[in-house]
């Protein structure tokens, strides 16, 4: 369990202390296609599940959609210039599957592939390494109509899409991330339904999780076969999980949530097996009959790295008889078989998402993965925070976001000092953008976006990050 890490090992660098990162540490920022591109009807793109979901009344706050977003599809040359000004060494973007295969199958759509050729060329010309995520949640609607991720065939469709995207871009892109946060795709998309496609069936959520991982394994093999020089990994959203008290009931609650949030993906991908306790916890919703012989071997195809998205910690407690648990920030039905576990807030500072700020949890998470799973280079592929920003005299002074980044980079440095092979960090996010079910109401960017004029204003955190990159670490203050 993550909470068993020794106290010294989660010690952070003192605030104000300087810290230099290892040579070659990859400094980047991340975005995702649906959150920034807009231009949803251009270049032959078809609808994804997020187009359908966002246009369904009641699904997204204020009915916001990604139709225009940051208009990055048209403004990418300026956005890349901005990245270069900040000194980014790498940029993690996602490819929109419905731009490449509008009907969810068949040959690659040239206009879609050309857009990503232009974008990646622009990055390379500015000395910025493109890191591509193949699936950041925008499943072609046609594939959802055929059954979506609970349907086994979607895994094969995904591998086909990966293969043709790598055939088109593999000469200029070395780093590939198959999936972003399969937990969200499966358990928010098909369990609680707060994300697209908005289905609410716990058994389907667990099937979706398996088929996502199967798709990851098949795609990894396809990419490695096409480009032996490619580096392929997957990005998981991992949490530090701890029990509220030392009671046996709270410990069991923590075991369950750690199982459903972390180990249900870490174990199959890195060890080739499902954790037995998680399979037992899920017995009320599935018998795992959808797992076929040989699947786990594919799922655990060796990768070059693991991407970790870290935002916060889950603190949990045992169910209380007769007391309905408060729905946590992501409804109870996101935790099939463990719906009665209570998520506890501790009263520590939170971000605008109401997520508790817990930098030691990042050290804990990194050390835990390094200790319990096969040795593998690790990257933080997302980390960041939403806060309410104000433009004053044309400037945005986001001291709270800057503080969040600073604390979490100190955590990264501590983990590296204790022997974790952490090789890079991608801030979430380059730009304010479409925050899924929250629409445009949550700002995660280092760069402010005025959605009316599409003007970009680098916030204080962006200037600060540029300095961190320049000195390859944190300055002593």
| Long-range contacts formed by 117-125: CB under 8 A, 24+ apart | 117/168, 117/169, 117/172, 118/76, 119/76, 119/80, 119/93, 120/169, 120/172, 120/173, 121/172, 122/76, 122/77, 122/80, 123/80, 123/83, 123/91, 124/172
Residue 32 is a binding residue for ligand FCB (CB under 6 A): yes
For the question of residue 390 being annotated catalytic, the response is: no
Residue 261 is a binding residue for ligand FCB (CB under 6 A): no
Q: How far is CA 93 from CA 34, 180, 284, 358, 449, in A?
A: 10, 11, 38, 26, 18
Give the residue carrying structure tokens 């090789």.
Answer: 423
Tell me which residue of 347, 349, 351, 355 sits closest to 443, measured CA to CA.
Answer: 351
Instruction: Mark 266-305 with x for binding to ligand FCB (rule: CB under 6 A) and - for no binding.
Output: ----------------------------------------
Asked if residue 265 lies in contact with residue 206, where contact means CB atoms within 8 angstroms, the answer is no
For the question of residue 14 being annotated catalytic, the response is: no
Size of the site for ligand FCB (CB under 6 A): 12
Q: Which of 180, 220, 332, 461 binds ligand FCB (CB under 6 A)?
A: 180
**Whole-angstrom Cα distance, residue 370 to residue 424?**
15
Residue 435 is a binding residue for ligand FCB (CB under 6 A): yes
Question: Which of these ranges, 95-103, 180-188, 315-323, 331-339, lies near ligand FCB under the rule CB under 6 A?
Answer: 180-188
Give the residue carrying structure tokens 């398996």.
Answer: 210
Instruction: Mark 221-250 with x for binding to ligand FCB (rule: CB under 6 A) and - for no binding.
Output: ----------------x-------------
CB of 139 to ligand FCB, least distance (A): 15
Residue 428 is a binding residue for ligand FCB (CB under 6 A): yes
- For residue 117, how many other CB atoms are within 10 A of its CB? 16
Q: Which of 138, 163, 181, 358 binds ligand FCB (CB under 6 A)?
A: 181
Q: Determine which one of 129, 367, 382, 435 is catalytic.
A: 382
Supply φ then ψ for residue 76, to 5 degrees: -60, -35
CB of 428 to ligand FCB, least distance (A): 5
Q: Which of 444, 448, 464, 465 binds ligand FCB (CB under 6 A)?
A: 444
Please, what's the largest Cα pairwise distance for the chain? 62
CB of 320 to ligand FCB, least distance (A): 29
- Active site positions, annotated: 181, 382
Binding residues for ligand FCB (CB under 6 A): 32, 35, 180-181, 184, 237, 309, 382, 428, 435-436, 444
């Amino acid at each position: 369990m993550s909470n068993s890490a020794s106290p010294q090992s989660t010690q952070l660098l003192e605030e104000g202390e300087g810290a230099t990162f290892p040579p070659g540490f990859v400094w980047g920022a991340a975005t995702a296609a649906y959150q920034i591109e807009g231009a949803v009807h251009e270049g032959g793109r078809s609808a994804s599940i997020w187009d359908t979901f966002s246009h369904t009344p009641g699904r997204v706050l204020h009915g916001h959609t990604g139709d225009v977003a940051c208009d990055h599809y048209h403004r990418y040359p300026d956005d890349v210039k901005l990245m270069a000004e900040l000194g980014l060494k790498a940029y993690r973007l996602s490819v929109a599957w419905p731009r490449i295969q509008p009907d969810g199958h068949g040959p690659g759509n040239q206009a879609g592939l050309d857009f990503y050729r232009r974008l990646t060329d622009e990055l390379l010309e500015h000395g910025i390494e493109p890191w591509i995520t193949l699936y950041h949640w925008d499943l072609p609607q046609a594939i959802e109509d055929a059954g979506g991720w609970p349907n086994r065939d979607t895994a094969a469709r995904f591998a086909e899409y990966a293969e043709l995207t790598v055939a088109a871009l593999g000469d200029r892109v070395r780093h590939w991330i198959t999936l972003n946060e399969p937990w969200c795709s499966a358990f928010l998309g098909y369990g609680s339904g707060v994300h697209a496609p908005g289905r609410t069936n716990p058994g389907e959520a667990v099937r979706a999780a398996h088929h996502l991982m199967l798709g990851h394994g098949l795609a990894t093999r396809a990419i490695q076969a096409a480009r032996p020089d490619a580096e392929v990994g997957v990005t998981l959203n991992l949490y530090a999980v701890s029990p509220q008290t030392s009671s046996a009931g709270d410990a069991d609650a923590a075991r369950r949530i750690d199982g459903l949030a972390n180990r249900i993906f870490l174990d199959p991908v890195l060890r080739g097996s499902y954790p037995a306790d998680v399979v037992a916890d899920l017995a009320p919703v599935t018998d795992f009959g959808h797992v076929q012989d040989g699947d786990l071997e594919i799922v655990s195809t060796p990768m070059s790295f693991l991407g970790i998205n870290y935002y916060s910690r889950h603190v949990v407690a045992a169910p209380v008889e007769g007391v309905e648990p408060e729905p946590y920030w992501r409804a109870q039905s996101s935790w099939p078989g463990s719906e009665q576990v209570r998520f506890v807030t501790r009263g520590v500072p939170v971000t605008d998402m109401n997520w508790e700020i817990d930098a030691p949890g990042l050290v804990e998470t990194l050390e835990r993965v390094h200790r319990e799973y096969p040795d593998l280079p690790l990257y933080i592929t997302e980390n960041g925070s939403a806060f309410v920003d104000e433009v004053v005299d044309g400037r945005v002074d986001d001291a709270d976001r800057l503080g969040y980044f600073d604390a979490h980079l100190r955590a990264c440095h501590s983990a590296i000092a204790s022997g974790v092979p952490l090789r890079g960090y991608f801030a979430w996010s380059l730009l304010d953008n479409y925050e899924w079910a929250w629409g445009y109401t949550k700002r995660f960017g280092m760069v402010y976006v005025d959605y009316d004029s599409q003007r970009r204003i680098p916030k204080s955190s962006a200037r600060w990050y540029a300095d961190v990159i320049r000195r390859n670490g944190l300055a002593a203050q």
